[in-house]
Amino acid sequence: MTLNGTRAVTVGILALQGDFREHREMLERMGHRAVEVRKPSQLEALDALVIPGGESTTIARLILSNGFQGPLRAFCATGRPVWGTCAGAILLAKEVDRLDRPGIEVMEISVHRNAFGRQVESFEADVEVRGLEGGPFRAVFIRAPRIDAVRPPAEVVATLADGTIVAARQGNMLATSFHPELTGDSRLHAYFLGLAEAPAGIRH
């Protein structure tokens, strides 16, 4: 059992490059088991998967060179929760500008890389997350992407005050252009673990 009384689960964090340690520590603080994933064979034993922040071109290259693309697509289709933060969101999107190699391409969203500018434009801001109790979420955006379009079955989950889309959900999959793992706020990690759904075709 976890600290807040839910069942403890095993969550993998794709650890090819990026801030996988911050996700691992957040999940462990919540009472879950967290595993750094560097080989496709590790995916089978997981209840959920996080694709962390990092450099999307680097992670995309390592996904291909390590034979992860097919196994990650298959994992997303099992209905187990999958969450991409920042670079991870870029990799989940079906449409991305200026990414010269394919990612995982499973969510019906269009993502614009580095949409807010270079590092000096990186920022913190409050975002409203639909269905999240406890008030606005203080979000950290690092050379962040923007979600330009969300097509069904994907839906908008969070926006900035000016309406810019910064989070989207499609069934068991979640994409955020910011980094909840860099804050002390575990509400989005808890939200993500609640996204499990039966895979298509074997719904109860």
Partner 1 sequence: MAETGTWAVKVGLAQMLKGGVIMDVVTPEHAKIAEEAGACAVMALERVPSDIRRDGGVARMSDPQMIQEIMEAVTIPVMAKARIGHFVEADVLEAIGIDYIDESEVLTPADETHHIDKHQFRVPFVCGCRNLGEALRRIGEGAAMIRTKGEAGTGDIVEAVRHMRSVMGDVRRLQNMPDAELYAFAKEIQAPLSLVKQVKAEGRLPVVNFAAGGVATPADAALMMRLGADGVFVGSGIFKSENPPLVAKAIVEATTHYQDAEVIARVSAGLGKAMPGIHVASLPEKELLATRGW
Q: Using CB under 8 A, which of the segments 74-82, 138-146, 150-158, 190-198 binds partner 1?
A: 138-146
Contacts with partner 1 in 36-75 (CB under 8 A)? 38, 53-55, 57-58, 61-62, 65-66
CA distance readout (Å), 56 to 5, 71, 186 = 35, 18, 24
Residues 6+ apart with CB under 8 A from 64: 101, 102
Nearer of residues 11 and 22 to partner 1, judged by Cβ: 22
| Cβ–Cβ under 8 Å, residues 35 and 49 | no
Contacts with partner 1 in 165-194 (CB under 8 A)? 179, 182-183
Closest approach of partner 1 to the CB of residue 189, in Å:
16
Task: Give the span between the Cα atoms of 167 and 103, in whole angstroms.
Answer: 18
Active site residue 133: no
- Under the binding rule (CB under 8 A), the answer on residue 203 touching partner 1 is no
Cα–chain-centroid distance for residue 43?
16
Nearer of residues 9 and 14 to partner 1, judged by Cβ: 14
Question: Is the backbone peptide bond immediately before 153 cis, with ω within 30 degrees of 0?
Answer: yes
| Cβ–Cβ under 8 Å, residues 144 and 122 | yes
Active site residue 86: yes
User: Contacting partner 1 (CB under 8 A), which of 11, 13, 22, 69?
Assistant: 22
Nearer of residues 15 and 173 to partner 1, judged by Cβ: 15
Nearer of residues 95 and 108 to partner 1, judged by Cβ: 95
Residues 6+ apart with CB under 8 A from 151: 108, 109
Q: Which of the residues 179, 189, 197, 204 is marked catalytic? A: 179
The pair of structure tokens assigned to 151 is 């097509």
The pair of structure tokens assigned to 161 is 């005050």
User: Contacting partner 1 (CB under 8 A), which of 32, 80, 112, 143?
Assistant: 143
Q: Which of the residues 22, 86, 112, 189 is marked catalytic? A: 86
Please identify every residue annotated as catalytic.
86, 179, 181
